Amino acid sequence: MFSLNKCASPGCPAFVYKDTGYCYHHNPDKDAILASLKKQLEDGSGVRDVSIVNAEVIGVKAAKGCTIMASNFSFTVFEDCVFESAAIIESFFDYCIFRRCTFRSDDIRYSVFAGSTFIECRINDSTVIHNSFMGIDAYDSDFSANDFYFSNFSLSKLVDTSMEDCNLKRTNFRASLTKNVSFRYSNPEEAFFRKEEGYTI
Ligand SMILES: [Zn+2]
């Protein structure tokens, strides 16, 4: 698990990066930290127990089989990134922006994407169970062919985003807003919707 110690910079509420005493932003080695993150993703050595908040991760193609474990990337922007056959476990991506990112054949569980925005993203052929997508905004995205068992999309806004051929058993869509969302070949009847919030198939 990433350290819950606060940054030594006065007034900074962010968690420290490893045991450096400072958060990513107040770290004198900020550029090296980001470079090391990209390298660990791209060479497949993986990322574990780090907190890097409010960063920009652009154009990273993670090596197949790469693991992200017990880490924190809140408020980070991910653009044109690919995570294929990756495992993302117990990690925080709350209030992130994902633009043109691809998650394919991944194992994503016990992770938090709450409050994030997904624009032109793809999550396909993946196990995406027991995650929080509370309050996300998704536009022009494709979330098809996934197992979303017990994931939570309540309070989310899903627009022009398909969720076809997904397992939606115990998936929570309460108080969500869906527009042009196709649930074809999925099982929304086993998900949680409020009665008055109809879905379309
Ligand atoms: Zn700081």
The CATH number given to 30-190 is 2.160.20
Give per-residue pLDDT as tens, 133-155: 999 999 999 999 999 999 999 99
CA of 22 to the centre of ligand 1 (A): 5
Give per-residue pLDDT as tens, 84-128: 999 999 999 999 999 999 999 999 999 999 999 999 999 999 999
CA of 25 to the centre of ligand 1 (A): 6
Instruction: Report the sign of the C-alpha dihedral through residues 153, 170, 163, 111, in that order.
Output: positive
Query: With bands split at pLDDT 50, 70 and 90, how would you rate the model's confidence at 200?
Result: low
Give per-residue pLDDT as tens, 172-183: 999 999 999 999
pLDDT of residue 111: 98
pLDDT of residue 193: 87
- Residue 72's DSSP bridge partners are 51, 92
CA of 16 to the centre of ligand 1 (A): 7
Q: Whole-prediction pTM value?
A: 0.94
CA of 148 to the centre of ligand 1 (A): 35
CA of 8 to the centre of ligand 1 (A): 7
Alpha carbons 1 and 71: distance in angstroms, whole number: 7
pLDDT of residue 194: 75
3-state secondary structure of 28: coil
Average pLDDT over residues 39-54: 97
Average pLDDT over residues 142-169: 97
Alpha helices in the chain (DSSP H): 30-42
Ion ligand 1: residues, CB < 5 A: 7, 9, 12, 14, 23, 26
